[in-house]
Amino acid sequence: MPRQKNGVNKSEEIRQTLQADPQMPVKQVVESLAKKGITVQDNLVYYIKGKQKGGKGRRTNAEKMAAKGPATTHSDPVATILKMKALASDVGGMKKLKALVDALSQ
């Protein structure tokens, strides 16, 4: 059971304040509770806000990265070789492609 002082559950008061206005800045939450006579730390408000989000930020970023797939695909080397051959024929042959690569590496 949560610890209560003077019959007031600070976390519940923070949740109710944030429920009224979820975009309210932390300092404003602390000030509004101070007007009611409830002293709370900034850290507690940040903690409660984080719990309400449920850690969705990191989870959604990880899901987006997984949906994209790997940054480089080395699963089919034959397809890569065929792409290189097509690129070489577009630039005029393997010698010209090698010359282009050498020029870019300098």
Average pLDDT, stretch 70-76? 67
pLDDT value at position 31? Answer: 96
Q: Please report, for the chain, the start and end positions of each structural domain, with discontinuous segments joined by +.
A: 10-66, 71-105
Buried b vs exposed e over 66-81: b needs ≥16 C-beta within 10 Å? eeeeeeeeeeeeeeee
pLDDT of residue 7: 72
pLDDT in tens, 16-67: 999 999 889 999 999 999 999 999 999 999 999 888 877 666 677 777 877 7
Give the global pTM: 0.49
Other Cβ atoms within 10 Å of 33 Cβ, number: 19
